[in-house]
């Protein structure tokens, strides 16, 4: 009986040990990667005096941006892998303790403020039942879990991937 209890307690650690560390570029199909690498300089025409809301900024479409910035194309090999990905949270839904059980993970800080948002295939919807007390969206996190291809759309953004997280910790470079 004890053996099963130990195994049950160690299972999340074993799963994490088998996680494949992936880079944001791994989520881009070859044609999108090439288009992004060859994209002209993006101009930031953000006007701090102009009215706008946080919710509008991830979904707004700028006609000056190339189509790749709105791509939902995915890498099929990513579906179902145990992955570890570093990124920045965009808070969505909290539990009764005020910890975020749902958030978008994006490749760069401030992806929703003052800069063009990443394309949907560079936004991952994270489900984390344990909940994360996000105090600063400029803090990077390692998120580990089961990655799936799933097109999601809500009032804030569109995402092409979803990750069922079993571990979230502050990014430490390792």
pLDDT in tens, 33-43: 999 999 877 66
The structure tokens listed for 43 are 């101009």
For residues 138 and 141, give the distance between their C-alpha atoms in angstroms, rounded to a whole number. 10
Q: Does the global pTM surpass 0.75? A: yes
Q: Express as a percent the part of the chain with pLDDT over 90.
A: 63
- Give the start-to-end residue ranges of the domains of the chain: 2-170
Mean per-residue pLDDT, 91-108: 96
Residue 68, classed as helix, strand or coil, is: helix
- Residue identified by tokens 């979904």 is 59
So what's the pLDDT on residue 156? 86
What is the overall mean pLDDT for the chain?
A: 83
Distance CA 145, CA 172 (A): 18
User: What tokens were used for 20?
Assistant: 């494949």
| 3-class state of residue 85 by DSSP | strand
How far apart CA 112 and CA 105 sit, in angstroms, is 11
Superfamily of domain 2-170: Protein of unknown function (DUF3299) (2.40.50.870)
What pLDDT does residue 11 have? 44
Q: Rounded to an integer, what distance in angstroms lies between the CA atom of residue 41 and that of residue 47?
A: 18
DSSP annotation of 74: -
The β-bridge partners of 146 are 82, 164
pLDDT band (50, 70, 90) for residue 150: very high
């Amino acid at each position: 009986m004890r053996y099963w209890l130990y195994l049950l307690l160690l299972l999340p650690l074993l799963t994490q040990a088998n996680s494949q560390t992936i880079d944001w570029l791994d989520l881009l199909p070859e044609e999108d990667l090439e288009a992004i690498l060859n994209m002209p300089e993006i101009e930031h025409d953000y006007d701090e005096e102009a009215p706008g809301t946080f919710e509008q900024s991830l979904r707004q479409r700028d006609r000056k941006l190339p189509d790749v910035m709105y791509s939902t194309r995915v890498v099929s090999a990513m579906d179902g892998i145990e992955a570890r990905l570093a990124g920045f949270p965009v808070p969505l839904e909290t539990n009764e303790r005020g910890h975020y059980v749902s958030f978008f993970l994006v490749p760069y800080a401030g992806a929703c403020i003052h800069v063009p948002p990443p394309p949907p295939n560079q936004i991952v919807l994270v489900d984390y039942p344990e909940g994360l007390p996000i105090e600063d969206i400029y803090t990077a996190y390692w998120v580990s879990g089961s990655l799936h291809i799933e097109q999601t759309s809500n009032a804030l953004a569109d995402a092409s991937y979803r990750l069922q997280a079993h571990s979230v910790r502050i990014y430490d470079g390792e």
